[in-house]
Amino acid sequence: MTTDYRITQEPYYQPQSNEVALYEAAYAARLPIMLKGPTGCGKSRFVEYMAWKLKRPLITVACNEDMTASDLVGRYLLEAGGTRWLDGPLTHAARIGAICYLDEIVEARQDTTVVIHPLTDHRRTLPLDKKGEQVRAHPDFQLVISYNPGYQNLMKDLKPSTKQRFAAFDFDYPPPGQEARIVASETGIDVALAERLVKIAVAARNLKGHGLVEGISTRLMVYAATLMQHGVAPRDACRMALVRPITDDADIRETLDHAIDAVFETVPA
């Protein structure tokens, strides 16, 4: 049932540019889409918003290094009465005309990601070799993938032959004022308080490449604000949600803890 994968309530999303119109054009042409950007910057929320706006079912797959091609396309299951074929999420999406979102695609093995190739060109088919079936994608089907370029290395990157099958969007964290409004809207905290969280995040992002692999994401700020809404003191919430998850380096922790103290110097500890 396609209704099982429908997003019935509008996800909160603030456009940063013209990405909504561009995605609508890409979907009208059924082009496969690649989203690139840092962790927690809103890529998944954008896909959810577009699925809602286009009134299409959305099937999301969180990719990981243990994921096999069978996990995507399907497999035979052994039951008491014999064997039964079970479609994987990619196959199911292709059959019902859903948007299939493969989140953090570079985490999957390269021999797994090649199964998406026939779905991303003029063929729009998915071979089920074990079943001897060629699935023709529903006219409404679209494939969307995402990854964080900051984690690219020789072992975790998409092949050029895969990248060149997609139209791509670059995502980044929103401008400070917009990001504060997003955090306030998501959690219900005051915008002025959200602006303090953004100041801490910006300080951490400036350390990226100088001891930090990744800065503080919008998602982590939402976590900190949520803790505050549940009665946690601002400084404790920030240390718990903003600093401790991103680094174990004592010096960087101390630097960011000082930044928290400076931002909240007028707020009781």
User: Can you give the pLDDT at residue 256?
Assistant: 96
126-144 residues labelled b (16+ CB within 10 A) or e (exposed):
bebeeeeeebebeebbbbb
- In the chain, the amino acid numbered 232 is V
Compute the CA torsion angle 12, 15, 20, 21 (nearest 10 deg). 140
> Cβ(12)–Cβ(179) under 8 Å?
no
What is the rounded average pLDDT of the residues 144-172?
84
Mean pLDDT of 207-211: 84
Which residue is associated with the tokens 């995402």?
A: 146
How far apart, in whole angstroms, are the C-alpha atoms of residue 163 and residue 157? Answer: 10
**Is-contact 51 142, C-beta < 8 A?**
no
Average pLDDT over residues 155-179: 90
Handedness of CA 165, 111, 148, 46 (dihedral sign): positive
pLDDT tens per residue across span 120-139? 999 999 999 999 999 999 99
**Using CA atoms, how far apart are residues 19 and 1, in angstroms rounded to an integer?**
29
- 24 token code pair: 């609508």
**C-alpha span between 68 and 63 (Å, rounded):** 10
Residue 152 has what pLDDT? Answer: 55
The answer to whether residue 230 scores a pLDDT higher than 90 is yes
Alpha helices in the chain (DSSP H): 19-28, 43-54, 69-73, 89-96, 110-113, 160-163, 176-187, 191-205, 218-229, 234-238, 250-263
Q: What pLDDT shows up at residue 202?
A: 95
Answer whether residue 54 shows pLDDT above 90.
yes
Q: How far apart are CA 76 and CA 98, in angstroms?
A: 23
Residue 154's pLDDT band (cuts 50, 70, 90): very low
Query: Is residue 268 pLDDT above 70, yes or no?
Result: no
Q: Is pLDDT larger for residue 121 or for residue 213? A: 121
pLDDT tens-digit map of 75-104: 999 988 889 999 999 999 999 999 999 999
2-170: CATH superfamily: P-loop containing nucleotide triphosphate hydrolases (3.40.50.300)
- Write the secondary structure of 150-188 as one string of H (helix), E (strand) and C (coil): HHCCCCCCCCHHHHCCCEEEECCCCCHHHHHHHHHHHHC
Angle between helix 19-28 and helix 43-54 axes, rounded to 10 deg:
60
The pTM for the full model equals: 0.90
Give the pLDDT band (50/70/90) at residue 155.
Answer: low
pLDDT recorded at residue 235: 96
